[in-house]
Structure 1
Amino acid sequence: MGVMHGYEINFVFGEPLNTEKFSYTKEEQELSMRFMRYWANFARTGNPNKNPDGTYTSDVWPQYTQATMEYMNLTVESDYYAGASRIGTGPRRKQCSFWKKILPNLMAAVADTGDQVMRWKQEMNRWENEYIVDWQLHFEQYKKYQAYRYADSENGQC
């Protein structure tokens, strides 16, 4: 799932670097340094990759566009295996597909079912409040009858 929105704030403001008050790992301290560098670079230049001296960061954070939908995973180094990329594409594409494609198509398909749904609700109400009540009454009578028959057969009265 990833990290909830807002949890990065501690890293942006360098909390892991305060070793007297907190006990973050070395990797988390390095992650905080990356966060601070990206945020400061972006505030200064509008580009998170461009350092104050004009050089660029080693990990390039791609600009998000509708066409590429690239994003950067910011996490500790041990979360990556050798050669793994920090760049992903189409975040939560499958989950978003439900809201953007599947649900609208479903809503369109059932939009004209007003009368059918109303009839179904009426029938369901009748079933719940009349038919099932009547069935339960008859079933209870049937069970009593079966119990009497069983008792009679035990007494030899068939």
Structure 2
Amino acid sequence: MPARRAWPRGGVRCLFGWRLLTWLLTSPHDGRMADEVRAVFVFDRDHDALVFRSLEHATGYMEAIDVEEGEYVALFTETGGIVNATTTAERVVLTVTGERDEADLRARLRDHQRRMRTPEPITDPVAFASDYLRREREWEWAHRWPRWPAWLDRRLHGEHPPKA
């Protein structure tokens, strides 16, 4: 009789196997300072600004080939902390360095505001990130697919988009 395989996490078995579960639960940046980051600002070569709610979300969006080719020129946390983007085995790895440059973050946000021609000045990066993420959630909510009958849609998703 073959020996039984030891399963992690107190003997709990997963339909897809413990390796997949471990891979899904393992953070790509080893959890360094992840709990302290509330927003990640990513600026690309075209001076576009992207905002993500965590390092994990930013990592999931960014592609390794773009990082290697220098597509993303600056990455910051909401407090102006500098984020370093590297690749390992075709995976993006984001690490928060100990350095801060809040003046550069604000300058890039002002440049973004000028390019987008928004009337209100961006004075607070956290408020800008919250507004950006709120508008993104509302857009996703309005354009979700498939469209279910109204009664089923309310039952599955509720009346309003989720709040952060």
TM-score, normalised to structure 1, is: 0.25
TM-score, normalised to structure 2, is: 0.24
> As a proportion of its length, which structure holds more helix?
1
> As a proportion of its length, which structure holds more strand?
2
Larger relative contact order (C-alpha < 8 A, sep ≥ 6)?
2
